[in-house]
Structure 1
């Protein structure tokens, strides 16, 4: 099912008489899934006369000088963020619509992981590499949910390959007690030495409160690329919700739905 990111109405009245006090709503971003295997096409739409959609692929906010949307955007890179904004003479430009798309990466053959909470078990380990998800609704049955201290994951590739980074997709919805993990650490299997060795680590600091629900992508990079077919992943779940939260001191939840290897 195609997903849409849009507002319901076309204009936000900011005044009673002046046309230039009306703000345009963000454009529609149409896509089947934020995950894809080789390439995907993304459509943008906004049905209002004398307006144009401008977009960027470089993480910058769109401006009138940026490309004008005329045909579907072809996405091929491992991680691509599309930001789009509607402009029109005599109107206030819209807010920015944003969507990030993730390429499949190296072929994963098998994953074993700590058992999730029964209520949020999705399709089990398959949920971590089935190219589904990216929806912030935990009722979509694509997320694995945990409220334990640590999540351990064993990941196997279809064959030994040169790898330099792993990407993880987490849900962040702090109002629902769902926080980003505190740390991701990874070991890779050295076949010659028959042992696991350090690959990389990412520590995640909790700063100010984040409102709303969003997908949050975390990349763990190796200092040097390695040739391997196995990884051990250790994800530390936040144990205490911060003091500013109504549930301060309680154990947080961690939700994950995809892992990609590059």
Structure 2
């Protein structure tokens, strides 16, 4: 009597378990020359999983299966936040991969910065405004590295203009002992007060 009751239950349980997706797709890879550009640029998606497809958005929202289907290189002509995600039958969707593309900002007259650590120094005076973003290789000469308490960067624009935001590119690689700062403070010079005034700040948590 007990065996007759257990057997149907066991078969039903097996059928339900095998009907659920259990493997997650690997995230796609975004390929582009630089996140900073003049005129126009483009990006490609590298992903190879038979029966799967990549969807993307250009407005910073999380992609769904109803969003744009990637098939070929996508042109970018203005500031965009791109997010891509892979979907496939019998697979869990991949993690989201994102990139923000920045078109030429304000015309910069002069940039000065604190002396970096010798291991992360550079001879390029325009390293912070050369329209070349840093990559994950921290030894390729596109980063400035510091081991001091306070780093100061001064930026002078060619013309007096209103800024809506300031983009700061940071690298974190704990395996290489590269960590984010505790905070970033942004000041602007107020002509009426004849002093620098705090415009905004960003705090970082360290676990």
TM-score range, shorter chain: 0.7 to 0.9
- The whole-number CA distance in structure 2 between the counterparts of 1:143 and 1:161 is 27
Structure-1 residue corresponding to 2:73: 72
Greater alpha carbon shift after TM alignment, 171-180 vs 140-149 = 171-180
Counting matched residue pairs gives 190
How far did residue 22 of structure 1 move? 5.4
Structure-1 residue corresponding to 2:102: 102
Q: Which structure is higher in RCO with an 8 Å CA cutoff and minimum separation 6?
A: 1
Structure-1 residue corresponding to 2:205: 206
Structure-2 residue corresponding to 1:87: 87
> How big is the alpha-carbon RMSD for the aligned residues of Structure 1 and Structure 2?
2.8
Cα deviation code 1:18-57 (max 9, x no counterpart): 9x65544332321011222343211223344433211123
Residue 187, structure 1, aligned to residue 182, structure 2: no
Structure-1 residue corresponding to 2:62: 61
Cα deviation code 1:128-163 (max 9, x no counterpart): 111112302111111011111111222111222222
Structure-2 residue corresponding to 1:136: 136
- The whole-number CA distance in structure 2 between the counterparts of 1:59 and 1:68 is 16
- The whole-number CA distance in structure 2 between the counterparts of 1:41 and 1:148 is 37
Structure-2 residue corresponding to 1:127: 127
- SS of residue paired to 1:164: coil
Structure-2 residue corresponding to 1:174: 174
- TM normalised by structure 2 equals 0.76
- Contact map agreement 1:50 1:89 (CA 8 A) in 2: yes
Cα deviation code 1:203-224 (max 9, x no counterpart): 413143xxxxxxxxxxxxxxxx
Structure-2 residue corresponding to 1:232: none
- The whole-number CA distance in structure 2 between the counterparts of 1:205 and 1:117 is 22
- SS of residue paired to 1:161: coil
- Contact map agreement 2:52 2:87 (CA 8 A) in 1: yes
Aligned 1:227-238 pairs, distance under 5 A: none
- The whole-number CA distance in structure 1 between the counterparts of 2:152 and 2:47 is 44
Structure-2 residue corresponding to 1:250: none
Q: Which runs of 5+ in 2 are unaligned?
A: 1-17
Higher helix share: 2
How far did residue 113 of structure 1 move? 1.2
- The whole-number CA distance in structure 1 between the counterparts of 2:189 and 2:164 is 14
How far did residue 172 of structure 1 move? 1.5
How far did residue 199 of structure 1 move? 4.3
- SS of residue paired to 1:168: coil
Q: Which runs of 5+ in 1 are unaligned?
A: 1-16, 209-262
- TM normalised by structure 1 equals 0.62
